Amino acid sequence: METKVNALMVRAVDYGENDKILTLLSAERGKISAGIKGVKKAGAKLRFAAQPFCLAEYVLASRGGRYTVIQASESQSFYELRCDIGKFYAASALCEAAAALTPEEPSPQMFLLCAEGLRDMCSGEEGFALVKFLVGALALSGYGFHAGGCAECGADLSAADSLRFDMESGSFTCRGCGSGPGVSGSTYRVLRAAQGRPCGEVTADGVKRALRLLREYYALKTDGRCASLSEYLRLI
C-alpha cells in the first residue's frame, strides 16, 4: 500500500551501511518514522530527501506497520539554512522541538508553523523566528503562556523593566506580586511580539533572553531538553 504525504524531514538517523531512518512531520498524518534506502551513497536518487530541512511530497510504502520512502518530490530545500551556522542551529532547534511536540496524528497547524518558521529564518533574523515558532508550537501542544497584564493584580506590564514569570502557570506578574524567577522587560516584550501583541522595541538581547526562558519552560513542560537550542544560544 502506498501513501503520499506533504512532510518536513526533521530528523535522520543512520541505519546500516547506506540507509537512514527519517522522522517526517506531515500535515496529513502528524509524525511518521520511515526508512529510506541507499541515501548515504553519493549518487543516490533520493539523497536530497534525507537532507536537513527538506520539505517534499513523500511517497511511502507500508508493510507490516512500517513505512519506507520510495519516491519524493522536493517542494523546498531551505538550502540557505545549511550555509550559515547560526541559521543551521536555529533551524535544527525548530526541528528538534517539532519532533518532540508533534503527535502521531494529523497536525496541519504544526506542519504549517514549521514551514513558516523555516521560511522566516531564510529571509530574516533567525532568532526571533525561532522564538515565534516555539511560542506557537508550545501553545498548540497545550503549553501556551499568558503575556498580558500581571496575572495577580492585572497591572499593565508593557513598560516594566523587571518582572516575574511563573513557570507552572506560564504567566507574567509584577516584580512584587509573583514568586517566579525574575525576567527582564525586554524578554516580555519579545514574547508579546511573538504572539502578535503590541509591544515596544524588540532587541537582540531581548531575543536571546526570551530563548533562554523558553528553553527552561520547554524543559519543564516536556520533561526534555532541546540540545540544538542550547547550541544556538552558545553561538549568539
Four-residue CA torsion sign, 34, 36, 37, 38: negative
Q: Do the domain assignments include residue 226?
A: yes
**pLDDT of 22 higher than 90:** yes
Q: Do residues 172 and 160 lie in contact, with contact meaning Cβ atoms separated by under 8 Å?
A: no
pLDDT tens by residue, 212-224? 999 999 999 999 9
Query: Both 69 and 91 in a single domain?
Result: no
* CATH code, domain with 57: 2.40.50.140
Distance CA 181, CA 188 (A): 13
pLDDT tens by residue, 37-85? 999 998 899 999 999 999 999 999 998 889 999 999 999 989 999 999 9
> What pLDDT is stored for residue 198 in this prediction?
79
Query: Both 6 and 111 in a single domain?
Result: no
Task: Please return the burial class of 44, using the count of CB atoms within 10 Å of its CB with bins 0-12, 13-18 and 19+.
Answer: middle
Q: Do the domain assignments include residue 23?
A: yes
**Residue 207 Cα distances to 111, 158, 193, angstroms:** 24, 16, 10
Q: Is the pTM of this model over 0.85?
A: yes
Q: Do the domain assignments include residue 151?
A: no
56: CB partners within 8 A, 6+ apart? 6, 7, 9, 48, 49, 72, 73, 74, 75
> Of 76, 107, 134, which residue sits at a domain end?
76
Higher-confidence position of 7 and 104: 7
Distance CA 115, CA 140 (A): 15
Query: Both 108 and 126 in a single domain?
Result: yes
**pLDDT of 103 higher than 90:** no
* CATH code, domain with 223: 1.20.1440.120
Q: Do residues 24 and 7 lie in contact, with contact meaning Cβ atoms separated by under 8 Å?
A: yes
Q: What sections of the chain are H helices per DSSP?
A: 85-101, 108-123, 126-140, 185-194, 204-222, 227-235
Average pLDDT, the chain: 94
How many domains is the chain built from?
Answer: 2
**pLDDT of 234 higher than 90:** yes
> What pLDDT is stored for residue 18 in this prediction?
93
Which grid cell is 93?
Answer: 532547534
**Reduced to 3 states, what is the DSSP secondary structure of residue 56?**
strand
Distance CA 46, CA 33 (A): 16
Query: Both 231 and 165 in a single domain?
Result: yes
Stretch 125-135: mean pLDDT: 97
CA 137 to chain centre: 7
At position 45, the amino acid (one-letter code) is: K
At position 131, the amino acid (one-letter code) is: V
Q: Do the domain assignments include residue 64?
A: yes
Structural domain harbouring 225: 79-145+160-235
pLDDT band of residue 229 (cuts 50, 70, 90) is very high
Query: Both 17 and 111 in a single domain?
Result: no
> Of 76, 105, 137, which residue sits at a domain end?
76
